[in-house]
Structure 1
Amino acid sequence: MRKKKNDGVMPCRRALSRSAFLKRVRDTVKQYDMLHRGDRVLLAVSGGADSVCLLKALLDMRRQLGIDIVVGNVDHGLRGKESERDSAFVKRLSGKFGLGCVHKKINVRSGGKKGASIEERARDERYAFFKEAAGANDCGVIATGHTMDDQAETVMMKVIYGSSLAGITGIPPVRIEGDQRIIRPLIRVERREILAFLEKEGLGYVEDSTNRDVKFARNSIRHEILPFLEKYNPRLKRSLVNLSDTLREDFFFLGPEKEKAVRKYAGGEGSPPVGIKISDMILQPKALRKEIFKELFRRAGGNVKKLTYRHWMDMDYFLRAAKKNKSLDFPGDIRVTRTVDGIVFRKR
């Protein structure tokens, strides 16, 4: 059923081989070991092109993959009648495909973490609902419609604004949280391929009008920066996604090595203060030393997201040059003090 533009539901353009598209999604699921036979999946559907495409693709492969699907939808209440329209569209679409739809309307304009933006609060509330709904409906998997474009935009944002290795890895194709698995089966699929698939299937979708507003950084990257850079590399998005995958492999190698080093030289989790001998710290490769510093900072009560590259450079110099009883202050009132042969992290 094709919807009219003035109904807020956009028709898609261009045709694409249906079998080739489904193979791309299936290969992504296999590559990242996303789904197993017998899985029950809560599929997060906003009504946008990406999530509608994911819904149709997983439905078409449902028997082959051996999975069950439940639809989850959130109305953030940020766009008034437009938000209500989107949720109503998702409910109709779920009914058309004979699927149950779990829906919740939330208010993200109040409450949430102190200092968090509306976008951050919306994301936190959204995922909290999806996890709750997944548990209530015996779903061990939550699937979202993040695409190759989303990944490329995320990596580019991290490059522009600055980031740690963890940040440059972008959106994880699979993330384990407790007994739930969050997956992104479209993470290797471009948005233009998604639009082509929907056109071939005759499916419409709703469009969030705020996605066109280039005053938001992500929209500017999507509509202005990436198209400009693609003049020099038409496969830029794929290059950025490949970069994120490569760096994620490096990051996953560092994680266990960091844990082993911290356990060996600083002991297990405990109440601050936490400390380590300078000789043990200097012994580590520089990349691992940085991860140990961040872990000890976290254990002392600091927020790692507040650390910058400058903080790490200051810490590295402090390790090599500071004298006994000298100290260095970091965000969150964390102070690092030099002892006779080590350093101690504590709240001021």
Structure 2
Amino acid sequence: MKGRLSNKFNLVIRDYELTPKTTVVVGVSTGVDSMVLLTLLENLPRSKRPQIVIAHVNHKLRKQSEEEQAFIEAYAKEHHLKLEIEVWPVAKHPKTGIENAARKVRYNFFTRIAKQTGARFLFTAHHADDQAETFLLKLVRGGSLQQLKGIGARQLTEQTQIQRPLLNFSKIQIREFATLNHVKWYEDQTNADQNLARNRMRQEIVPRLKQENPQLLAHIQSYENQLQILMRATRQHAQELVQQLIEKDGFKTTLFLKFSLEWQDLVLQEIATKKLGAGQLTDAQRYEILQLLHNKQKPTGNIQISHQLVFMKNYQQFGFYLANELQKKSLETPDSMLKLNQWHEISGYGKVGVFEADELPQNLLDTSQVMKLSENQIEEPFSVEKSSPDENLRLKAGGHKVVRRVLMDAKVPIAQRESWPVLVDANHQPIWLLGIRKSWLKEPFDDQQKPYFIIWKTNNLEELN
């Protein structure tokens, strides 16, 4: 096999650890790139040559499509290679977006053949010029940095990986090899269509850039490799930070705000990517979310992201939620009885306990957390229940205030008002709408009697007493 390209190709292909027992699917269009790739694979040393399955799609887009199909059928028969063909009928061609539709048909076909044959790799003939064109087109069109990447390896199925063995070779090198080795190919007539952005990039822009610097392709490949390494490392750390933030039904606001502004932005993008998909959160939405998270004067708030999705900040928790489930979202507060001198956990809210003076936990005597009672004021046992919107809290002046109004004044989200925890006595009289407002007790405090302390320690809610 003549030419330096074959020697370099053999070095590249060595990394794939191919053997005669390895099955590979090769996407062959009959253009010069795929025919050269097929030729190079066929001429590997016997110990490295895999089982080759040619996958050809007749897109019915050119007059010569039938001739190309007949050629590859004859070629496969002559070279004793397995061939799979997919025909895309003209009747199924869309009126617009033909390129994207053709690509979808092609890769659906490749996926099916890879699964049928148990292929370890799908090889396609993308080369260095394709890499430059893809990178520059994405740069021109704009979008998120995560989308600014060229053509690389990726998984096609659980067992099949897409690889591009010609990425380090230019179109010129490939054509020179084909000419020198008498490789027959068909020229794609659509490559001359100036209505296609990729063709304009290929025929006008990339050649001019090569004139400015003959090393253009190598430099773009180098930048693409460096960028991918940086983005993989950045995303890996962002994912680790996200794991630190996860709690039931959302993410921890306080911890999030301890990150640097740069990592806040990246972590938010990672959370949004998991929920919405890459690039779906706009710059304006991201800015609005960060503003809300930093706004201490607004402990709760919603931002409509799409018709179905809402971002919600709920005191010390935030996240993306389906709009039709948002009203259903509430933290359940099971009715339960408190035991003296023990903490009682309330999932998602915090913990509460009734303590005797000599059993009092240390460093918790903050007036917003403690309610001191004398023995004459206590009707044991105390229990935690879901508050009822129509319950009344006793006021100091002797009147009452309905729980619904207290929760509204405290700006508690509507979805949580029916499940907010309230501490009640043995007669089910409200003692403390936990974390929000204490009820004025009927019996006055008697400092001659044994004191008890009700302590509320918030978890992810803001103290509003």
The TM tier, using the shorter chain, reads: 0.7 to 0.9
In the TM superposition, residue 261 of structure 1 has moved relative to its aligned partner by 2.9
TM-score when scaled to structure 1? 0.82
Q: Counterpart amino acid of 1:102?
A: E
SS at match of 2:254: helix
Q: Are 1:91 and 2:73 counterparts?
A: yes
Distance 1:321 1:152, change over 3 A: farther
* Residue matched to 1:198: 178
Deviates more, 1:199-208 or 1:275-284: 275-284
Report 1:165-314 matches (<5 A).
165-175=145-155, 177-266=157-246, 275-284=250-259, 289-300=264-275, 302-314=276-288
Which of residues 2, 6, 10 is equivalent to 1:26?
A: 10
* Residue matched to 1:74: 57
Distance 1:44 1:290, change over 3 A: farther
SS at match of 1:243: helix
In the TM superposition, residue 40 of structure 1 has moved relative to its aligned partner by 0.9
* Residue matched to 2:46: 63
Distance 1:337 1:242, change over 3 A: same
CA distance in 2, matches of 1:24, 1:318: 55
Structure 2: where are the runs of 5+ without partners? 324-465
Contact 1:76 1:83 in 2 (8 A): yes
Larger Rg: 2
In the TM superposition, residue 167 of structure 1 has moved relative to its aligned partner by 2.0
Distance 1:109 1:219, change over 3 A: farther
Identity %: 25
- Partner deviation per Cα, 1:140-194 (whole Å, 9 max, x = no partner): 2111111111111110011111133332221114546311111100011101000
Q: Counterpart amino acid of 1:96?
A: E
CA distance in 1, matches of 2:116, 2:201: 37
After superposition, the CA RMSD in angstroms is 2.8
Distance 1:35 1:248, change over 3 A: farther
Higher helix share: 1
* Residue matched to 1:338: 313
Q: Counterpart amino acid of 2:38?
A: L
Contact 1:173 1:187 in 2 (8 A): no
SS at match of 2:85: strand
Q: Are 1:320 and 2:294 counterparts?
A: yes
Contact 1:71 1:101 in 2 (8 A): yes
In the TM superposition, residue 283 of structure 1 has moved relative to its aligned partner by 4.1
Contact 2:311 2:318 in 1 (8 A): yes
SS at match of 2:18: coil
* Residue matched to 2:331: none
CA distance in 2, matches of 1:210, 1:233: 28
Contact 1:109 1:118 in 2 (8 A): no
Distance 1:64 1:285, change over 3 A: farther
* Residue matched to 1:164: 144
Contact 2:312 2:320 in 1 (8 A): yes
CA distance in 2, matches of 1:63, 1:284: 56
* Residue matched to 1:36: 18
Contact 2:57 2:87 in 1 (8 A): yes
CA distance in 2, matches of 1:328, 1:232: 48
Distance 1:210 1:292, change over 3 A: same
SS at match of 1:43: strand
In the TM superposition, residue 42 of structure 1 has moved relative to its aligned partner by 0.7
CA distance in 1, matches of 2:321, 2:112: 35
Distance 1:267 1:236, change over 3 A: farther
Contact 2:28 2:56 in 1 (8 A): yes
SS at match of 1:61: coil
Q: Counterpart amino acid of 1:117?
A: G
- Partner deviation per Cα, 1:87-109 (whole Å, 9 max, x = no partner): 22222222232211111112487
Q: Counterpart amino acid of 2:73?
A: K
In the TM superposition, residue 70 of structure 1 has moved relative to its aligned partner by 1.2
Contact 1:108 1:118 in 2 (8 A): no
CA distance in 2, matches of 1:111, 1:219: 21
Q: Counterpart amino acid of 1:25?
A: F
SS at match of 2:44: helix
In the TM superposition, residue 308 of structure 1 has moved relative to its aligned partner by 4.2
CA distance in 2, matches of 1:109, 1:264: 53
Distance 1:343 1:241, change over 3 A: same
In the TM superposition, residue 298 of structure 1 has moved relative to its aligned partner by 4.2
* Residue matched to 2:341: none
CA distance in 2, matches of 1:267, 1:212: 56
Contact 1:40 1:67 in 2 (8 A): yes
Q: Which is bigger in relative contact order (C-alpha 8 A, separation at least 6)?
A: 1
Contact 1:28 1:185 in 2 (8 A): yes
- Partner deviation per Cα, 1:44-92 (whole Å, 9 max, x = no partner): 101111100100011111524242211111122333x332222222222
Distance 1:224 1:176, change over 3 A: same
Contact 1:108 1:122 in 2 (8 A): no
Total equivalences in the alignment = 321
* Residue matched to 2:36: 53
Contact 1:76 1:107 in 2 (8 A): yes
CA distance in 2, matches of 1:26, 1:332: 52
